[in-house]
Amino acid sequence: MKKQQFSFKVPKTVGEEATKIAIGLGYRHIDCAYIYGNEVQIGQAIRAKIADRTVKREELFYTGKLWCTFVAPKLVRKGLEKSLNDLQLDYLDLFILHWPFSLKPTGAERHTDSNKGFVYDNVNFLSTWEALEACKDAGLVKSIGVSNFNHRQQALQFYTLYKTYCTMYFCILFPFCMYPWCCRNFDSQYHQNSRALNFALTRYVSTTSPSITYY
């Protein structure tokens, strides 16, 4: 089983060294995102460990996430290419829609932006998905998926609509047991439907995380 490193809340100052150590210890799945703000440092570490022959690129599984300001179909590839450029990688192994809402790039990008607030957008996620498929077809990412969707947001209908694409690797990243407003009745229903549609299901901090204290 591949060990997994989450880069959420890893400061830029230690991101490179921490990732080098993790890869040296055998970690092969690196979970990161544009909004974490440390992909440059993570990418430097990956390239360094490839250069010193600790690992080959094909032995690593890198997960990136499309941030909410890039959800509009015309911006999806731009969001992916921003991560690729920061990482200095040719492709991502998995690229997922980070949250089931969209933000206009004219507003704040994150909640810590003090000079302006969020400007919410109304984007059809099915058109976003089609843009993600185009990125996969272009060879920029091997697998695509979604994160943090719940059935109140009609995620299952979303998956069902695209069940013809089950031959590709589809990932549903869901924070089991961390977010109570998402997890009610989740385990059995989502697990059964995911298996029926042949979608891979992964868990994020499935027990707990000492670094997350605001839920």
Q: What is the pLDDT of residues 52-103, one digit of tens each?
A: 999 999 999 999 999 999 999 999 999 999 999 999 999 999 999 998 889 9
Q: 2-11, 34-43, 126-135: which has the minimum mean pLDDT?
A: 2-11
Task: Quote the pTM value.
Answer: 0.80
Does the pLDDT at position 204 exceed 50? yes
The verdict on residue 57 lying in a domain is: yes
The verdict on residue 160 lying in a domain is: no
For 16, the token pair is: 């490179």
Query: How many folded domains does the chain comprise?
Result: 1
What CATH number should be reported for the domain holding residue 119? 3.20.20.100
The verdict on residue 195 lying in a domain is: no
The verdict on residue 215 lying in a domain is: no
The verdict on residue 123 lying in a domain is: yes
Are 168 and 142 a contacting pair, CB within 8 Å?
A: no
**Domain with 129 in it:** 3-147
Measured from the Cβ of residue 71, the count of other Cβ atoms closer than 10 Å reads: 26
Is 214 marked active-site?
Answer: no
Q: Work out the average pLDDT over 138-161.
A: 71
Query: Helices (H) and strands (E) in the chain — how many of each?
Result: 7, 9
Which one from 36, 62, 159, 190 is the annotated catalytic residue? 36
